């Protein structure tokens, strides 16, 4: 099946998945609201499910229900919940229940205390931390969209709501299957190495004297080979994290694990990869097994700014593609999972995030910067295909590996008119010096997430400047082999409205059977990868050089964003023999 037909299937199924999740979440919100919110971590954004649950809690029995400015004076005691619409709310006394404030700020003054949960939409929570709030603190900077029916509010889908596109099956399980009493059951992204990884176990969240402590011990059982009980199908993850503070906080964590991880997860969302794998027998990632531990400390200034420093000790091991069930093309052969490097490494990392977007799900202004700096090494690394043959290879030798790598993703959203946006993205990935990166940390471009005018890992005629394969490779699966990568993307979006199938009501008013907001999108992309080292041909360049822009690959395209799913056509501008690609993305391209 060609790429165009595959992507059409992805789009249709994605729309059905998102629609069914949204409808089911609204119908069951009343039954699971209190338990779900008590278990969720603090969030700065408002999802569709949270909107329904917060509205339900606001409408529940409350000792005080008010609209507009509200105060609880020092010395006053409220025996139950407080529900305030439009705020602000000032608490100097005691609240022996939960506080729900819709579209307004909350200030807890010295001496004020909330015994249970504090939930805020469209505002801030000043003075809210583990010493003043006995339960969970949830602050959603996005306002709650609602309509009123008497004293009740009925939530509407937030503009740009965080629709469960990333790992939709995981989201469904978390919302619908999760049990009470701190037991978690979720599903990970579907892929050709694990099938469906089902993750379950106890998860505890407890307020202690200095902050909030989270503990979880989870087992992993993979569906590949019909859930056969064997080592390849078993894994685990145990973690502990202490959060000190409210929306501005410091977190200390430690974890241990035996997991299958993807390479280059930045290109496509988990949900898109899962849908393509399960329905179409196409997996757009490569994988390796990692066993080890991780300790970290991080600082957060709400959603806007975060910095994390961590250290890992991990064993990397190659994994083979299995034969998990797929709905279509189940008899086809999977693309081989490349045999990656094998060894135990010490790794240090720094992660930085800066996010000033006005809306996470549908941004039209602001910055999003994600950057990571990672350095690691080992004295015994089995490189490339030899990793799978070490026990039977008399020529086996281990090599010393030291590497430092940076990956930075800069995105800027700009509103240039009331209906139009001009957005820019620059992604830079590079290893330092002329030393090669481990295969688990190399780069490749091409495909829907980067250069949609080029098929994912397609063989090249001439120098392969997208995955840096210099010709037929010993490593099957066309792996990523670039030490460095540069990608630029630009898109123009124009908001509009589609009205189809007009009719007139008996009263003469005109109605449309199809009436919805859409965005028309035009875009262009350019990028390439290269190998670091002494200049050789068009693939290898010295560490202080960048290839000429004339050697980059470029594409352009256009399409329509239907809010939950986008449908696009893309064409290579540098290789005219390449056909036009039809692709479907969940939510925005970036």
**Residue 285, pLDDT above cutoff 90:** yes
The reported pLDDT for the residue numbered 7 is 40
Query: With 80 as the cut, is the pLDDT of residue 182 above it?
Result: no
Give the range with max mean pLDDT: 6-10, 54-58, 457-461. 54-58
**Encoded tokens for 512:** 């449309």
| Residue 41 pLDDT class (50, 70, 90 cuts) | very low
Of 33, 35, 51, give the one whose Cα is nearest residue 43.
51
- Interval 71-130: pLDDT, tens: 999 989 998 899 999 889 999 999 998 999 999 999 999 999 998 889 999 888 999 888
- pLDDT recorded at residue 303: 81
Q: 7: which DSSP letter?
A: H
The pLDDT of residue 24:
37
pLDDT beyond 80 at 464: yes
Q: Is 18 a residue whose pLDDT tops 50?
A: no
pLDDT at residue 27 above 70?
no
Lowest pLDDT segment from 245-254, 381-390, 494-503, 537-546: 381-390
Instruction: Read off the pLDDT of each residue in 20-31 and give the average, rounded to a whole number.
Output: 36
Q: Looking at residue 586, what is its pLDDT?
A: 87
Pairing mode, if any, of strands 553-561 and 183-187?
Answer: unpaired
Q: Would you place residue 387 in the very low, low, confident or very high pLDDT band (cuts 50, 70, 90)? A: very low
**Is pLDDT above 50 for 194?**
yes
Class of domain 349-590: mainly beta
Q: How far apart are CA 468 and CA 527, in angstroms?
A: 13
What mean pLDDT do residues 46-60 have?
77
CB count in 10 Å sphere of residue 470? 15
Residue 159 has pLDDT above 50, yes or no: no
On whether the CB atoms of residues 404 and 432 are closer than 8 A, the answer is yes
Q: What is the pLDDT of residue 171?
A: 46
- pLDDT score for 42: 54
- Per-residue pLDDT, averaged over 512-526, amounts to 87
Mean pLDDT of 371-394: 69
Whether 243 and 219 have beta carbons less than 8 Å apart is answered as no
Contact at 8 Å (CB) between 180 and 32? no
Model confidence at 16: pLDDT above 80: no
* Residue indicated by tokens 């619908």: 176
pLDDT score recorded for residue 308: 98
> Does residue 178 have a pLDDT over 70?
no
pLDDT value of residue 566: 92
Per-residue pLDDT of 207-241, as tens digits, reads 787 888 999 999 999 999 989 999 999 999 999 99
The DSSP element (H or E) to which 519 belongs, if any, is strand 510-532
Confidence of residue 324 (pLDDT cuts 50, 70, 90): very high
Neighbours of 266 (CB within 10 A): 16
Taking CA atoms, 41 is separated from 118, 164, 204, 367, in Å, by 12, 17, 11, 24
- Residue 60 region by backbone torsions, left for phi larger than 0, else alpha for psi between -120 and 50, else beta: beta
Confidence (pLDDT) at 507: 67
Looking at the DSSP assignment, which residues form a beta bridge with residue 557? 523, 570
Q: Is 201 helix (H, G, I), strand (E, B) or coil?
A: strand
pTM: predicted TM-score of the whole model, two decimal places: 0.72
Angle (CA) 359-350-465 rounded to 5° is 80
Q: How confident is the model at residue 371 (pLDDT cuts 50, 70, 90)?
A: very high
User: What are 465-511's pLDDT values in tens digits?
Assistant: 999 987 655 567 788 999 999 999 999 999 988 877 777 767 666 67
The chain-wide mean pLDDT, for the chain, equals: 83
DSSP string across 546-582: ---GGGSEEEEEEEEE-SSEEEEEEEESS-TTSPPEE
> Nearest to residue 141, comparing CAs of 116, 105, 165, 107?
105
Sort 43 into a burial class: Cβ within 10 Å, 0-12 / 13-18 / 19+: middle
Q: What is the pLDDT of residues 305-318, one digit of tens each?
A: 999 999 999 999 99
Q: Is 273 helix (H, G, I), strand (E, B) or coil?
A: helix
- 121-146 pLDDT, tens digit per residue, is 988 899 988 889 988 888 888 888 88
**CB-count exposure of residue 338 (10 Å: 0-12, 13-18, 19+):** buried
**In the chain, where are the structural domains located?**
46-155, 162-337, 349-590
């Amino acid at each position: 099946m060609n790429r165009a037909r595959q992507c059409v299937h992805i789009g249709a199924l994605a729309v059905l998945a998102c629609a069914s999740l949204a409808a089911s979440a609204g119908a069951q919100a009343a039954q699971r609201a209190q338990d779900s919110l008590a278990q969720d971590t603090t969030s700065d954004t408002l999802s569709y499910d949270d909107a329904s649950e917060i509205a339900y809690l606001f409408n529940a029995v409350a000792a005080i229900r008010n609209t507009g400015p509200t105060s609880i004076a020092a010395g006053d005691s409220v025996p139950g919940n407080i529900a305030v619409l439009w705020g602000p709310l000032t608490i100097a006394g005691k609240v022996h229940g939960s506080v729900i404030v819709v579209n307004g700020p909350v200030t807890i003054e010295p001496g004020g205390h909330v015994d249970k949960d504090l939930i805020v939409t469209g505002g801030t929570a000043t003075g809210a931390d583990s010493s003043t709030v006995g339960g969970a603190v949830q602050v959603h900077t996005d306002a709650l969209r609602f309509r009123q029916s008497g004293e009740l509010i009925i939530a509407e889908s937030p503009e740009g709501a965080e629709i469960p596109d990333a790992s939709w099956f995981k989201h469904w399980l978390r919302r619908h299957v999760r049990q009470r009493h701190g037991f978690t059951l979720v599903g990970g992204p579907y892929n050709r190495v694990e099938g469906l990884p089902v993750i379950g176990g106890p998860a505890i969240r407890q307020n202690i004297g200095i902050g909030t402590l989270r503990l979880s011990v989870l087992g992993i059982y993979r569906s590949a080979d019909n859930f056969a009980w064997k080592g390849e199908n078993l894994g685990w993850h145990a973690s502990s994290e202490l959060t000190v503070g409210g929306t501005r906080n410091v977190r200390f964590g430690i974890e241990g694990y035996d997991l299958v991880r993807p390479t280059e997860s930045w290109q496509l969302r988990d949900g898109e990869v899962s849908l393509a794998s399960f329905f179409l027998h196409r997996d757009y990632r490569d994988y390796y097994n990692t066993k080890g531990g991780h300790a970290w400390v991080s600082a957060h200034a709400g959603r806007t700014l975060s910095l994390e420093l961590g250290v890992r000790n991990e064993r990397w091991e190659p994994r083979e593609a299995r034969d998990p069930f797929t709905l279509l093309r189940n008899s086809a052969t999977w693309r081989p999972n490349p045999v990656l490097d094998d060894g135990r490494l010490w790794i240090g990392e720094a992660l930085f995030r800066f996010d000033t977007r006005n809306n996470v799900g549908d941004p039209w202004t602001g910055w999003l910067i994600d950057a990571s700096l990672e350095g690691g090494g080992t004295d015994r690394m089995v490189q490339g295909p030899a990793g799978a043959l070490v026990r039977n290879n008399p020529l086996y030798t281990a090599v010393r590996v030291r590497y430092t790598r940076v990956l930075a993703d800069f995105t800027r959203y700009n509103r240039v008119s009331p209906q139009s946006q001009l957005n820019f993205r620059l992604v830079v990935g590079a290893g330092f010096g002329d030393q090669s990166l481990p295969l688990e940390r190399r780069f490749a471009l091409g495909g829907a997430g980067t250069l949609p005018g080029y098929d994912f890992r397609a063989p090249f005629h001439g120098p392969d400047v997208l995955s840096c394969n210099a010709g037929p490779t010993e490593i099957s699966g066309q792996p990523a082999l670039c030490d460095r990568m540069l990608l630029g993307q630009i898109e123009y979006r124009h908001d509009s409205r589609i009205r189809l199938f007009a009719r007139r009501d008996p009263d003469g008013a005109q109605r449309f059977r199809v009436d919805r907001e859409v965005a028309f999108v035009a875009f262009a992309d350019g990028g390439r990868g290269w190998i670091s080292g002494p200049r050789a041909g068009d693939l290898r360049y010295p560490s202080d050089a960048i290839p000429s822009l004339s050697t980059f690959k470029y594409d352009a395209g256009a399409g329509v964003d239907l809010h939950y799913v986008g449908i696009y056509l893309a064409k290579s501008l540098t290789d005219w023999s390449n056909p036009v690609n039809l692709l479907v993305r969940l939510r925005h391209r970036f």
